Amino acid sequence: MVCRCVECGFRVNTLFVQYSPGNIRLMKCENCKAVADEYIECELMILLIDLILHKPKAYRHLLYNVLNQETSKQLLWKSIAGFLLLDSYRSLLLRSEEESCSSVGFFFFVSACRKVLMDVFFGNFIFFCILVLAMRILLKKSNGVSRFRDLVLGILISSYFKIFLIAMMVWEFPTSVIFIVDLFVLSSNAVALKVMTELAMNICLGVCFSAHAIKFLITQAPEFNVVKLLKSIDT
């Protein structure tokens, strides 16, 4: 990855010049004449707020100017592990609705584990396959393994909204909160995809929506039919 201006995405050679410890000068972009990366002098909380607000310049800072080739390789596997763990917890939260309508037993436990594994591994495999295939078609050229690895890392990092599901360990929320978090993840994925591919926002949003929708139909839609059937039998 190369450094980029957070305002226009133009490549820059250096973001700042350090004269002495704590004494730096931010460089300006040759394209837009603005400061190339203002987040260098900002606190982490400001960056987090701008990420939550889906500002593209915050994603450019994080994905281009913070990460580099070495750190991205190390961070990829950690991001995959964290993403799968959070997705497993999400799937377990959805399973809890089915558990309230079913008798708890050994066979239900085995069935629940199988469904969680299907949701997490098979569902995400389909999700990323759709994203990579869509990028190959839209970009109309082969970008190499490293380029698609960076895209996958960008999608993983931009799925940080899944962390808010951990709050459901402490406070009780309705199941609809899970899908609200999914909507934030979808929009965050679209912004990250736009930043990394420079495609139009509506195209990136359509790609991410299609990938999330197909993942939902494969993993979750059949389960909601089962839950509704069980509730109708109880009544």
Q: What is the pLDDT of residue 172?
A: 80
Could you tell me how far CA 84 lies from the centroid of its own chain? 11
User: Are 115 and 82 found together in one domain?
Assistant: yes
Query: What per-residue string of b and e applies to 213-230 under the rule 16 or more CB within 10 Å gives b?
Result: eebbeebbeebeeebeee
User: Are 104 and 22 found together in one domain?
Assistant: no
User: Are 133 and 198 found together in one domain?
Assistant: yes
Own/partner contacts of 92-98, CB < 8 Å, gap of 24 or more, are 92/116, 93/165, 93/168, 93/175, 93/178, 94/119, 94/175, 94/178, 94/220, 94/223, 97/175, 97/227, 98/223, 98/226, 98/227, 98/230
User: Domain boundary at 41, 65, 89, which?
Assistant: 65
CB-based contact 32:6 (threshold 8 Å): no
* Cα–Cα distance measured from residue 48 to residue 30, given in angstroms and rounded to the nearest whole number: 27
Q: What is the pLDDT of residue 107?
A: 56
* Cα–Cα distance measured from residue 65 to residue 59, given in angstroms and rounded to the nearest whole number: 9
User: Are 132 and 194 found together in one domain?
Assistant: yes
The two three-digit tokens of residue 13, written as one number: 């050679």
User: Are 23 and 118 found together in one domain?
Assistant: no
User: Are 156 and 210 found together in one domain?
Assistant: yes
- Provide the number of structural domains found in the chain: 2
Q: What is the pLDDT of residue 20?
A: 79
Q: What is the pLDDT of residue 192?
A: 93
Which residues of the chain form beta strands (DSSP E)?
16-20, 23-26
User: Are 25 and 135 found together in one domain?
Assistant: no
Q: What is the pLDDT of residue 222?
A: 55
Q: What is the pLDDT of residue 175?
A: 79
* Cα–Cα distance measured from residue 72 to residue 148, given in angstroms and rounded to the nearest whole number: 12
User: Are 83 and 55 found together in one domain?
Assistant: no
Query: What per-residue string of b and e applies to 43-59 under the rule 16 or more CB within 10 Å gives b?
Result: eeeebeebbeebebbbb
**Counting Cβ atoms within 10 Å, is residue 147 exposed (0-12), middle (13-18) or buried (19+)?**
middle
* Cα–Cα distance measured from residue 126 to residue 130, given in angstroms and rounded to the nearest whole number: 6
The model's pTM: 0.83
CB-based contact 13:4 (threshold 8 Å): no
pLDDT tens across the length of the chain (235 residues): 578 999 998 999 888 888 877 788 999 999 998 999 999 988 889 999 999 999 999 999 998 888 866 667 778 888 999 999 999 888 888 776 555 544 455 555 566 677 777 778 888 999 999 998 888 888 775 455 457 788 888 999 999 999 988 888 888 888 788 889 999 999 999 999 999 888 899 999 999 999 999 988 887 765 544 444 344 444 4
User: Are 23 and 116 found together in one domain?
Assistant: no
Cross-strand pairs, 28: 35
Residue 45: domain span: 16-65
Inter-helix orientation angle 176-197/201-219, to 10°: 140
pLDDT one-digit tens code per residue, 26-39? 999 999 989 999 99
Q: What is the pLDDT of residue 61?
A: 92
